[in-house]
Amino acid sequence: MNALDQLKTLTTVVADTGDFNAMRAYAPRDATTNPTLILKAVGLPQYRGLLDATVAEHRAEPVDVLIDRLLVRFGCEILKIIPGRVSTEVDARLSFDTEATIARGHRIIDRYREAGIGPERVLVKVAATWEGIRAAEQLERDGIHCNLTLLFGFGQAVACAQAGVTLISPFVGRIYDWYRKRDGVDYTGETDPGVASVRRIYTHFKRFGFSTEVMGASFRNVGQILALAGCDLLTISPELLEQLRALETTVEPRLDVVSARKAVLEPVSFDEPRFRFELNEDAMASDKLAEGIRAFVTDARKLDGLVEQARGG
């Protein structure tokens, strides 16, 4: 078996793309999207029709409603291809507004229900701010499963698990980018700070019995992926999926529940003051969280512009 097929025996492989045609070849179980990926996709001729059709059918609705309809439309197309779940993101401009995030999460799920898709096949993606975590906690109580994204710090991860969220997405590659820039070192394997972060989170969750799934995300190279073989899930771009499929090597499990449960660790918990202090103390996590929100907001505004243009606004 090639590396991708071997990895699938150890970890749930997720496609990280809005280009649903590109994922057909790799047979992932789940798929994730974000504003940047959807923006990229609607810029391709084969997907422009989804934008135009959405606007034509609901032209009189506000832009934010049209955007949710567009995201759900992509999600529905993806769910025709994969057997599992799709992640659809709440507007990053709501990252510090708990009530608005809850309302938007419900609206996204309502749009899926209108399309005949049940909430068990959707993960609502929310930024892992304190406000986002509180929103996800309520959404989970309401039966809406959440994927907490833009996650860089250990405190963010533990707070999410305490809130009972379904899944978190620690950003391996962006953590690596920050340390590489600071230290001028091309980290690999065991020394990669992004890999180390996910391993720490995974081990802590399994040791203390948290049900929250860990999905490594934002990979820069195949080495990072293979170093996390055995993680609950890994979301991987089509480019790296292709590299894995072409790679002939033995893939060994690097994470496993049995070993994690034997780890000698101290339990920790995070209330709001400790969460905010921990995030402030972690320069990488606070920098990358703020940067990530800004980047998603920038692309959300660009997507707004495309919708306005499509309806002649």
Q: What is the pLDDT of residues 49-60, one digit of tens each?
A: 999 999 999 999
Q: Which residues contact 180 (CB under 8 A, 6 or more apart)?
A: 186, 187
Residue 173: band (very low, low, confident or very high) from pLDDT cuts 50, 70, 90? very high
What is this structure's pTM? 0.96
Inform me whether the pLDDT recorded for 22 exceeds 90: no
At residue 1, the pLDDT reads: 92
Tell me the average pLDDT across 249-272: 97
Q: Which residues contact 130 (CB under 8 A, 6 or more apart)?
A: 159, 272, 275, 276
Residue 205: band (very low, low, confident or very high) from pLDDT cuts 50, 70, 90? very high
What length does the chain have? 313
Domains along the chain?
A: 3-308 (3.20.20.70)
On whether the CB atoms of residues 67 and 51 are closer than 8 A, the answer is no
On whether the CB atoms of residues 288 and 181 are closer than 8 A, the answer is no
At residue 311, the pLDDT reads: 87
Tell me the average pLDDT across 170-190: 96
At residue 20, the pLDDT reads: 86
Tell me the average pLDDT across 277-288: 98
Tell me the average pLDDT across 277-289: 98
At residue 76, the pLDDT reads: 97
At residue 215, the pLDDT reads: 98
> Using one digit for the tens of pLDDT, what is the confidence trace for 81-113?
999 999 999 999 999 999 999 999 999 999 999
Residue 313: band (very low, low, confident or very high) from pLDDT cuts 50, 70, 90? low
Tell me the average pLDDT across 138-157: 98
Q: Is 58 exposed, middle or buried (0-12, 13-18, 19+ CB in 10 A)?
A: middle
Strands, E assignment, 81-190 = 86-89, 122-127, 146-151, 167-170
The percentage of residues in the chain with a pLDDT greater than 90, rounded to a whole number, is 95
The span from the CA of 152 to the CA of 144, in Å, is 23
Out of 40, 80, 125, 262, the active site residue is 125
Q: Which residues contact 292 (CB under 8 A, 6 or more apart)?
A: 127, 150, 171, 174
Catalytic residue flag (residue 8): no
Tell me the average pLDDT across 261-277: 98
